């Protein structure tokens, strides 16, 4: 043993101290390793959710997927699918898997500052649980991608504004005209001057107004005369009233006439009853006449038959008496 | 064996050579570049000697690694020496280092949290703290602390023993200086760096948690998850490798034979150049680890 040349002074309980240090070292390292394994999720039982995205930019293995701001899973693997999409395989511990339902929506968002975030949203927590290994399309919200479009829109807007406010822009000209109009509005001719533009027209308008006033005065006179006529008409109507509805008026006479007419009507009714009786008689006569007519028919047929027999007889005699006739045809 | 105890015959030769080179050095320092022609070997000697020096260091490191991995180094008879160096390397450093690392951690944690809050990025404060403090700064601090407090003085002691011929005497007495004297110091250095790095990492994580959430337990799940996101398998492997190589550099380089050693008595200048070498190597490892982490 090289005791004498070792310059370290002797230490009491050396072996215990050394063993303590070694133990502490083993403890430290094993605690650190165990903690890191817990932190990396080595002891969690997980299920997988496959998120399909157009591109996996900003997504790194180990990043969290959050639900309501709480991390419930971490990206375990990123791979390229045969269709050219990025497949992000997220490991979700079983104890957190109940937040994910079949109706859950997954988004990948990248802000202006900071990293990309994967978030899960579940609207209906009573839907069936998301099965292990389920594939979901991920929606992408990219603030940075919006910027170029926004800048283009803003540039267009600024150009339009510039065109609007330039020296020879229509808006500027309109404003100048408006200012001119306001000045004339405040001038001696006022709004009429603004409406008509030149002084001659506005003067004519004043004249027209004066003449209109005179016309109105004459219309007033006319109206007064019309009033007189109306009063006279009133008198005429009163007189007509008296003539029509007065003591010996048309109405009382008409009433007497109507009484007489009633008497006439009852007389006429009696006459008509007599006419009815006559008609009944006439009907009976008609019936008799019809019967006579049918008898006449049969008589006629009998006469016709007798006549035909007579004709036949005459024809027979004519045949049997041929000499009495000259049957020769003499040609000229 | 790396023992370079001087023999009497070569000592006078070396003294003569040193005087000649001393004269030439003085001339060159005065600005006479023509003096370089007197000793043309100086043109090429420097890089060759540099390479040879590092070759000796590499050989020493390989020898120590082999010894550290062979079971015969841990025989019962060896244990007291190893224990002694182990305790000497770590126990006296503990209070000072814990205080220093706690202070440094506290300051950096406050700065990062305050500036992150000022920029509205407090959700990234924990990530930044774990990355800068636990992964980068504390291992560097530990390596330099152990080098300054333990392995440099220990290496100085070994160099003294080499000069006084103690190692040679031990060799002649039938002992193995590499196994009995050097290996315990190297093991103690490695142990000290790894132990203090793990301790300070755990300490700073606890302090970060307390600074962020106070003395409550409700933030533990979120904290654990955030820490887990920083320590990806690659980052963890790089951190472990970095700590291991730091410890090797810190434990071996000061004890290894000085690559510039040319038989002159030890001076303060040698110590400073030794520290410089340790520092350069540590920085090199740090840069490589940064490249591994962020490229």
Q: Which residues contact B162 (CB under 8 A, 6 or more apart)?
A: B3, B4, B5, B257
Cβ atoms A52, A60 nearer than 8 A: no
Cα separation, A259 vs A265, in Å, equals: 10
For residue B222, which of B126, B130, B106 has the smallest C-alpha distance?
A: B126
Residue A109 confidence (pLDDT): 84
Cα separation, B281 vs B289, in Å, equals: 12
- Sign for the CA dihedral angle at A309, A313, A318, A320 comes to positive
Which of B9 and A305 is assigned the larger pLDDT? A305
b/e per residue, A53-66, with b = 16+ CB within 10 A?
beebebbeebbbbe
B37 is a domain residue: no
Lowest mean pLDDT among A184-188, B109-113, B264-268: B264-268
Count Cβ atoms within 10 A of the Cβ of residue B190 and give its class: 0-12 exposed, 13-18 middle, 19 or more buried.
buried
CB-CB neighbors (< 8 A) of A64 in chain B: 225, 229
Q: Do A113 and B202 touch (CB under 8 A)?
A: no
CA distances in angstroms from B249 to A4, A43, B233, B266, listed in the order given? 28, 36, 24, 21
Which of A169 and B116 is assigned the larger pLDDT? B116
Cβ atoms B83, A21 nearer than 8 A: no
Q: Do A6 and B81 touch (CB under 8 A)?
A: yes
For helices B94-118 and B138-146, the axis angle rounded to 10 degrees is 160
Residue with tokens 């007033």: A220
Radius of gyration of chain A (CA): 65
What is the DSSP code string of B95-136?
A: HHHHHHHHHHHHHHHHHHHHHHHHTT-GGGHHHHHIIIIIII
With 90 as the cut, is the pLDDT of residue B194 above it? yes
- Coil, helix or strand for A113? coil
If interface means Cβ-Cβ distance under 8 Å, which residues of chain B face chain A? Answer: 77, 79-88, 90-91, 121, 123-124, 157, 161, 166, 170, 175, 180-181, 191, 194-195, 198-199, 201-202, 222, 224-225, 227-229, 231-233, 236
Cα separation, A147 vs B256, in Å, equals: 61
Average predicted confidence (pLDDT) for chain B: 84
**Confidence band (pLDDT; 50, 70, 90) for A302?**
very high
CB-CB neighbors (< 8 A) of A32 in chain B: 198, 201-202
What is the DSSP code string of A155-213?
A: HHHHHHHHHHHSTT-HHHHHHHHHHHHHHHHTSSSHHHHHHH-SHHHHHHHHHHHHHHH
CA angle, residues A303, A305, A310, in degrees to nearest 5: 90
pLDDT tens profile A78-110:
999 898 889 999 999 988 888 888 888 888 887
B104 is a domain residue: yes
For residue B135, which of B264, B218, B240, B21 has the smallest C-alpha distance?
A: B240
d(CA A12, nearest CA chain B) in Å:
10
Residue A5 confidence (pLDDT): 47
Q: Do A17 and B91 touch (CB under 8 A)?
A: yes
Lowest mean pLDDT among A21-25, A189-193, B216-220: A189-193
Residue A3 confidence (pLDDT): 42
Work out how many domains chain B is built from and give that number.
Answer: 1
Cβ atoms B249, B144 nearer than 8 A: no
B159 is a domain residue: yes
- Coil, helix or strand for A260? helix
**Confidence band (pLDDT; 50, 70, 90) for B133?**
very high
B51 is a domain residue: no
CB-CB neighbors (< 8 A) of B74 in chain A: none
Q: Which residues contact A181 (CB under 8 A, 6 or more apart)?
A: A194
Q: Which domain holds residue B155?
A: 58-294
Which of A198 and A265 is assigned the larger pLDDT? A265
pLDDT tens profile B139-169:
999 999 999 999 999 988 888 888 888 888 8
Q: How far is CA A234 from the centre of its chain?
A: 61
With 80 as the cut, is the pLDDT of residue B2 above it? no
For helices B138-146 and B268-294, the axis angle rounded to 10 degrees is 160
Residue B50 confidence (pLDDT): 75
Cβ atoms B131, B230 nearer than 8 A: yes
B34 is a domain residue: no
**Residue B244 backbone dihedrals phi, psi, to 5 degrees:** -65, -45
ipTM, two decimals: 0.79
B251 is a domain residue: yes
pLDDT tens profile B21-55:
777 677 666 665 555 555 555 544 567 767 877 88
Q: Do B227 and A39 touch (CB under 8 A)?
A: yes
Average predicted confidence (pLDDT) for chain A: 85
B68 is a domain residue: yes
B14 is a domain residue: no
Residue A163 confidence (pLDDT): 87
**Confidence band (pLDDT; 50, 70, 90) for B203?**
very high
Residue B262 confidence (pLDDT): 53
């Amino acid at each position: 043993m090289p005791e004498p040349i070792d310059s370290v002074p002797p230490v009491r309980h050396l072996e215990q101290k050394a063993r303590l240090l070694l133990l502490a070292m083993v403890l430290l390292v094993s605690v650190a390793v165990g903690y890191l394994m817990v932190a990396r999720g080595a002891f969690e039982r997980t299920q997988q959710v496959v998120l399909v995205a157009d591109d996996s930019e900003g997504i790194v293995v180990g990043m969290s997927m959050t639900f309501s701001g709480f991390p419930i899973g971490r990206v375990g693997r990123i791979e390229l699918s045969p269709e050219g999409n990025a497949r992000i395989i997220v490991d979700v511990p079983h104890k957190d898997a109940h937040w994910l339902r079949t109706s859950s929506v997954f988004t990948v968002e990248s802000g202006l500052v900071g990293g990309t975030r994967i978030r899960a949203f579940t609207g209906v927590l009573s839907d069936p649980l998301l099965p292990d290994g389920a594939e979901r399309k991920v929606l992408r919200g990219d603030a940075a991608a919006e910027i170029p479009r926004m800048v283009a829109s803003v540039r267009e807007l600024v150009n339009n504004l510039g065109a609007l406010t330039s020296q020879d822009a229509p808006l500027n000209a309109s404003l100048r005209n408006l200012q001119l109009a306001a000045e004339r509005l405040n001038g001696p001719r006022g709004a009429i001057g603004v409406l008509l533009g030149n002084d001659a027209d506005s003067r004519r308008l004043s004249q027209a107004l004066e003449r209109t006033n005179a016309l109105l005065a004459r219309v007033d006179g006319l109206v007064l005369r019309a009033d007189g006529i109306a009063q006279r008409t009133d008198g005429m109507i009163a007189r007509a009233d008296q003539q029509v509805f007065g003591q010996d008026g048309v109405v009382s006479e008409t009433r007497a006439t109507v009484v007489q007419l009633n008497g006439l009507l009852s007389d006429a009714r009696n006459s008509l009853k007599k006419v009815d009786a006559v008609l009944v008689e006439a009907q009976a006569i008609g019936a008799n006449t019809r019967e006579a007519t049918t008898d006449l028919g049969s008589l006629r047929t009998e006469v016709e038959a007798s006549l035909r027999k007579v004709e036949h007889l005459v024809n027979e005699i004519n045949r049997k008496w041929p000499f009495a006739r000259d049957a020769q045809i003499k040609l000229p | 064996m790396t023992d370079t105890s001087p023999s009497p015959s070569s000592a006078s030769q070396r003294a003569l050579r040193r005087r000649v080179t001393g004269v030439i050095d003085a001339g060159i320092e005065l600005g006479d570049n023509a003096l370089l022609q007197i000793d043309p070997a100086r043109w090429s000697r420097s890089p060759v000697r540099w390479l040879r020096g590092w070759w000796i260091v590499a050989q020493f490191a390989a020898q120590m690694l082999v010894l550290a991995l062979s079971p015969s180094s841990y025989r019962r008879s060896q244990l007291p020496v190893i224990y002694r160096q182990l305790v000497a390397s770590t126990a006296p450093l503990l209070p000072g280092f814990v205080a220093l690392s706690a202070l440094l951690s506290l300051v950096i944690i406050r700065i990062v949290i305050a500036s992150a809050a000022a920029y509205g990025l407090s959700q990234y404060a924990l990530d930044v703290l774990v990355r800068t403090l636990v992964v980068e700064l504390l291992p560097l601090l530990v390596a330099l602390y152990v080098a300054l407090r333990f392995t440099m003085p220990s290496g100085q002691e070994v160099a003294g023993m080499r000069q006084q011929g103690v190692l040679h005497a031990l060799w002649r007495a039938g002992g193995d200086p590499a196994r009995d004297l050097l290996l315990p110091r190297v093991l103690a250095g490695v142990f000290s760096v790894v132990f203090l790095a793990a301790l300070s990492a755990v300490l700073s994580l606890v302090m970060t948690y307390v600074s962020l959430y106070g003395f409550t337990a409700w933030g533990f799940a979120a904290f654990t998850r955030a820490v887990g996101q920083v320590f990806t398998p690659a980052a963890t492997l790089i951190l472990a490798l970095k700590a291991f190589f730091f410890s090797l550099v810190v434990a071996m380089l000061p004890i290894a034979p000085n690559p510039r050693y040319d038989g002159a008595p030890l001076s303060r200048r040698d110590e400073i150049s030794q520290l410089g070498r340790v520092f350069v190597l540590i920085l090199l490892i740090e840069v490589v680890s940064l490249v591994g982490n962020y490229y």
